């Protein structure tokens, strides 16, 4: 995976396969702590302890194929940047994936096109609610499709005109990427 935004998309796709109705993505930059934290939380079907114990094994998957590389890739990316991955999950309670990176670590992947990931999720799965939040010190930017859908009064959130407006909003109001390495 080239950057963090692609890891987020990959983990969110896991949430979709787990039948999530709402996915919350929160990216927190703490310059003072030299920490970058990425959380992806869903309300999907969750995993039992046996499944959870095996998710870091690249040859374990629940999807009828031979490999399951998404979580191992993200764990590797976090660990090589002085961080760690934690996954909390229980059947019926959803899953919360948290990846921590040392912000200044030379091997930390760039954030990448976070807006592109959020738009891909909204366009491909308009029926699922997405919260996207960026935090940097006191500054918080937040986009919640529940609120947008309410304002849209029945116009589909996946309508191209809506997606274009969302793209413009993500570009102007969400600025973590502009503070990141390229």
Partner 1 sequence: MAKLTIADLKKIKDEYRANQTLREGAFTVKVTVHMGTCGIAAGARGIMDTVMADLAASGRKDVVITTSGCAGLCSKEPMMTVERSGDSPVRYVALTPDKTHRIFAEHVMGGTAVKDFALVAGHETTY
| Residue ranges in 148-167 that form contacts with partner 1 under rule CB under 8 A | 148, 151-153, 155, 158-166
Name the residue nearer to partner 1 (CB basis): 49 or 150.
Answer: 150
The C-alpha atoms of residue 85 and residue 8 are separated, in whole angstroms, by: 13
Decide if residue 172 touches partner 1 (CB under 8 A): yes
Please state the closest distance from residue 118 (CB atom) to partner 1, in A: 11
Contact status: 136 vs partner 1 (CB under 8 A): no
Would you count residue 24 as binding partner 1 (CB under 8 A)? no
Binding site for partner 1 (CB under 8 A): 1-2, 6, 9-10, 13, 16-17, 63-65, 69-70, 73, 113, 116-117, 119-120, 123-125, 141-144, 147-148, 151-153, 155, 158-166, 169-170, 172-174
């Amino acid at each position: 995976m080239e950057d963090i935004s692609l890891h987020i998309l990959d983990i969110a796709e896991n949430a979709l396969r787990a039948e999530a109705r709402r996915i919350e993505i929160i990216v927190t930059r703490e310059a003072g702590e030299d920490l970058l934290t990425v959380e992806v939380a869903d309300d999907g079907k969750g995993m039992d302890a046996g499944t959870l114990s095996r998710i870091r094994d690249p040859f374990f998957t629940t999807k009828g194929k031979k490999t399951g590389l998404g979580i191992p890739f993200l764990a590797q990316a976090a660990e090589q940047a002085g961080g760690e991955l934690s996954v909390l999950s229980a059947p019926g309670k959803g899953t919360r994936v948290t990846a921590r990176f040392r912000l200044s670590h030379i091997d930390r992947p760039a954030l990448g096109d976070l807006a592109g990931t959020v738009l891909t999720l909204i366009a491909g799965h308009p029926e699922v609610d997405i919260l996207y939040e960026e935090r940097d010190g006191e500054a918080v930017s937040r986009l919640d499709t529940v609120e947008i859908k309410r304002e849209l009064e029945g116009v589909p959130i996946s309508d191209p005109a809506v997606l274009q407006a969302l793209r413009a909003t993500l570009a102007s109001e969400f600025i973590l990427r502009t503070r990141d390495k390229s």
